[in-house]
């Protein structure tokens, strides 16, 4: 069964794993942590240890091998968000299992898969020649079994790889993404918690650390977000009862940065998708956005 979704930049979700642990401030209000508890615990019998700390990850991160081939059963082409309830590159998920997920994506080439991570270093380190060979072998075995033909192309043309960036502390994730082989690279700036384009200096760290990037002892903040080589930028404010405030100007600055990737009169290299403003229950329709931010493009 396809898992329908309210996420406006995709058509379906596919969770070959569930569970995760928090790695940065953008994880604080993680919706998957709450859903994990309310939907899965007791319903499907998966273990749930709150909060989603590193120490609890070995209990919370659960492989779902019975879901590995689900996309092969969907006849119509879909845009599929992979692991909306987890992070595919979590340390608890073995490279062999991740290769099985990639093998399914290789065989189910009628679909477009969107893989979003906050662990780009592990993703970049993993997606080398050895991993590719394992993926090809698994996919070939699957095609033999199902009497399907296989097309060998790497990076997989129907797999988009993305990173989440919530404030300037994490703009380096985009640099790692640029070094990762991918047909399409994207950034999800959601929840957007700070200005990613401001290059002013952080105040010298003392006690609590910089209000914007969160680091201590710094006299210079991280660089502004570099959109070179990035095909798609998603913007969204934080939602839910514990949401942190959004300054709409942060979105406008990022919109302008994405528009500045235009070469000549061509369409900008970096497509833009504005999902929602922040708030307890932000409207997700296009009309809920300020007129100048009603932009919902997809990569070329």
Residues of the shown chain interacting with ligand SF4 in the complex, contacts defined by CB under 6 A? 20, 22-23, 27, 30, 32, 52, 86-87, 118
Q: Are strands 184-189 and 232-236 parallel, antiparallel or unpaired?
A: parallel
CB of 165 to ligand SF4, least distance (A): 12
- Shortest spacing between CB 145 and ligand SF4, in angstroms: 32
Q: Tokens 């990076």 correspond to what residue?
A: 155
Q: Which two tokens stand for residue 112?
A: 């477009």
Residue 222 is given by DSSP the state: P
Sign of CA dihedral 94, 35, 170, 172: positive
Quick one: 118 or 122, whose CB is closer to ligand SF4?
A: 118
Instruction: Give min distance, CB of 220 to ligand SF4, in A.
Output: 27
- Report in angstroms how near the CB of residue 52 gets to ligand SF4 at its nearest: 5
DSSP 43-109: TT-----SS--TTTHHHH-EE-GGGTTGGGG--S--EEEE-TTB-TT-TTS-HHHHHHHHHHHHH-T
Nearer to ligand SF4 by Cβ, of 246 and 257: the residue is: 246
Shortest approach of ligand SF4 to residue 101 CB, angstroms?
16
Q: How far is the CB of 123 from ligand SF4 (least distance, A)?
A: 12
Nearer to ligand SF4, 97 or 140 (CB): 97
- Choice between 20 and 142, CB closer to ligand SF4: 20
CB nearer to ligand SF4: pick between 119 and 138: 119
Contacts 24+ apart (CB under 8 A), 279-288: 279/237, 279/239, 279/243, 280/239, 280/240, 280/241, 280/243, 281/239, 282/237, 282/239, 284/6, 284/8
Q: Which is nearer to ligand SF4, 91 or 226 (CB)?
A: 91
DSSP letter at 207?
A: T
CB of 119 to ligand SF4, least distance (A): 7
Determine the angle formed by the axes of helices 95-107 and 129-146, rounding to 10 degrees. Answer: 50
Q: Where are the alpha helices (DSSP H) in 128-247?
A: 129-146, 172-178
What is the residue whose two structure tokens read 């919530």?
166
Residue 107, burial from CB neighbour count under 10 angstroms (0-12, 13-18, 19+): buried
- Of the pair 8, 72, the CB lying nearest ligand SF4 is at 8
């Amino acid at each position: 069964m396809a898992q329908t979704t309210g996420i406006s930049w995709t058509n379906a979700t596919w969770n070959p794993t569930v569970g995760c642990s928090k790695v940065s401030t953008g994880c604080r209000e993680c919706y998957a942590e709450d859903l994990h508890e309310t939907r899965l615990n007791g319903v499907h019998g998966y273990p749930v240890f709150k909060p989603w700390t590193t120490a609890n990850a070995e209990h919370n991160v659960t492989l779902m091998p019975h879901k590995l081939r689900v996309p092969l059963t969907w006849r119509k082409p879909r845009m599929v968000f992979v692991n909306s309830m987890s992070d595919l590159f979590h340390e608890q998920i073995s490279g062999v299992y991740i290769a099985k997920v990639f093998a399914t994506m290789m065989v189910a080439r009628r679909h477009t898969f969107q893989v979003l991570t906050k662990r780009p270093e592990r993703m970049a380190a993993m997606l080398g020649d050895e991993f590719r060979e394992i993926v090809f072998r698994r996919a070939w075995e699957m095609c033999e079994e199902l009497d399907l033909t296989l097309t060998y192309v790497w990076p997989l043309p129907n797999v988009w790889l993305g990173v989440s960036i919530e404030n300037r502390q994490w703009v380096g994730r985009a640099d790692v993404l640029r070094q990762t082989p991918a047909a399409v690279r994207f950034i999800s700036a959601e929840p957007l918690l700070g200005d990613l384009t401001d290059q002013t200096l952080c105040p010298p760290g003392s006690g609590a650390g910089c209000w914007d990037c969160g680091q201590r002892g710094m006299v210079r903040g991280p660089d502004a977000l570099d959109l070179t080589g990035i095909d798609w930028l998603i913007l969204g404010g934080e939602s839910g009862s514990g949401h942190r405030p959004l300054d709409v100007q942060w979105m406008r600055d990022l919109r302008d940065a994405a528009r500045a990737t235009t070469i000549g009169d061509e369409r900008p290299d970096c497509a833009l998708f504005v999902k929602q403003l922040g708030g307890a229950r932000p409207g997700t329709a296009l009309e809920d956005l300020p007129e100048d931010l009603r932009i919902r493009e997809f990569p070329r």
